[in-house]
Amino acid sequence: MKVLVLQSELGVLRGGGENFTRNLFTAFAARGHRVRAAFVADCRRRYPLPLPSSIEPIPIPGWWVRNLGQATLSSVSRYMPYKSCFRTTWDRVQEAIAWRTCAWHNRRFQRRVEYEFARRWDDFDAVYVHGDTILASKVAQYHPTVLRLPGPVTAELTPMLRAVQAVCANGDALDRIRAFLGDHVCELPIGLDVQTFTPGVSSVRSTLGWADRHCVVGYVGRLTHLKGVDLLAAAFREIAQDVLDARLLIIGSGEEERHIRTVLAQEFARAIVHIEPDVNHEQLPAWYRAMDLMVMSSRYENHSNALLEAMACGIPFLASNVGGNRKLSETGAGWLFEPESVPALSQCLRRIIGNRPELKACGEVGLRSVRNHHSWAASAERLEAIISSRLGVRG
């Protein structure tokens, strides 16, 4: 099969959706298929993150921005007390602006894709679109299309979703979408490279000057409002005052970074917090292994790649009680806390990080669960079956 992947920030971000696509289509190409991917780049067709060698890049040049003004809005919010009416209103304003900026970015990408491929659709057997329902419904008019939805959408999009030959989802999103789309949506599960993400030793702690006696709380992902890293920063500031062995390790970058550095200024000065903004996916296992507990304090999460990767390294998790986090907690590999509650997160951290035997036991449970249920080879085989059965394309 010859497949075109459309994902606007595939060469720009290391987010969960981008990592999902890179890993899925690396495994898909290994099954003998040809994969090309179109995404945004600067005016000279440059982009910061190289794709895997098995995926041929098609950079679309231009002036692109998806998070305009978010860093400034986040910096203003740090002056507002949590749970105050001003903070709640400001959060809603920030989310609304983020949504509109993202929609504007997507519309520009949609127009460029239609222009760039107007005479090239026949070069491909199928098109795979990540997360953009409008783009997928337009492309489906010209060529057989698979749409992968990384999160839930509303029933208002039903006409556009039914115009796409195959719609895929997983986790909490799959359950919600099936409620109104029925069997037109099918499961495309998250895989995992269980050869790369394994338990083991790591030199990260010693590099940071942290010892084995320290309890390292970790986070991996984008530093955005949706991911709730502001909640984690506030909770850690509370517990660091009396839990002297606590350490915080954050892997990622984004518009909330300035806010985190401001909130945790004293903790940075004490060298008990470290942010590593850019880690190659292949190097992530060493950073996971440096943790005792992985925290995912998202305001919403469909089915976290980062939690699965941590589990594969034998690291238990503490996550907000939202979306797909609930399903992962059913494995026994971690705990849940009340969403958007700094006191609840602080209380759980205090209780958990002092209990080394319980941390170890939950880590072992998570490791067994991941090894038994997740692989990219199985995900690629599933995608191949979807393209064959739903699109009528044979490879």
User: Which amino acid appears at position 59 of this protein?
Assistant: P
Mean pLDDT check: name the lowest of 36-45, 80-89, 246-255, 372-381: 80-89
Name the CA radius of gyration of the chain, rounded: 21
Q: Which CATH number fits domain 204-373: 3.90.1150.10, 3.30.1490.20, 3.40.50.2000, 1.10.1740.10?
A: 3.40.50.2000
253-262 tens-digit pLDDT: 998 999 999 9
The CATH architecture one would assign to domain 2-191+375-391 is 3-Layer(aba) Sandwich (3.40)
- pLDDT of residue 273 exceeding 70: yes
Q: What is the mean pLDDT of residues 218-229?
A: 94
pLDDT of residue 103: 83
Phi–psi pair at 40, nearest 5 degrees: -75, 150
317-337 tens-digit pLDDT: 999 999 999 999 999 999 999
137-176 tens-digit pLDDT: 999 999 999 999 999 999 999 999 999 999 999 999 999 9
pLDDT of residue 278: 83
Contact 67, 33 (CB under 8 A): no
Place of tokens 């290994």: 30
Mean pLDDT over each residue of the chain, to the nearest integer:
92
pLDDT of residue 163: 97
pLDDT of residue 16: 84
Every domain range in the chain assigned CATH 3.40.50.2000: 2-191+375-391, 204-373
Range 49-81 burial, b when 16+ CB lie within 10 A, else e: bebeeebebbbbeeebebbeebeebbeebbeee
19-53 tens-digit pLDDT: 999 999 999 999 999 999 999 999 999 999 999 99
Distance separating alpha carbons of residues 273 and 338, to the nearest angstrom: 24
Q: What is the mean pLDDT of residues 348-363?
A: 95
pLDDT bucket at 90, cuts 50 / 70 / 90: low
Q: Calculate the CA dihedral of residues 124, 125, 129, 134 and round it to 10 degrees.
A: 90
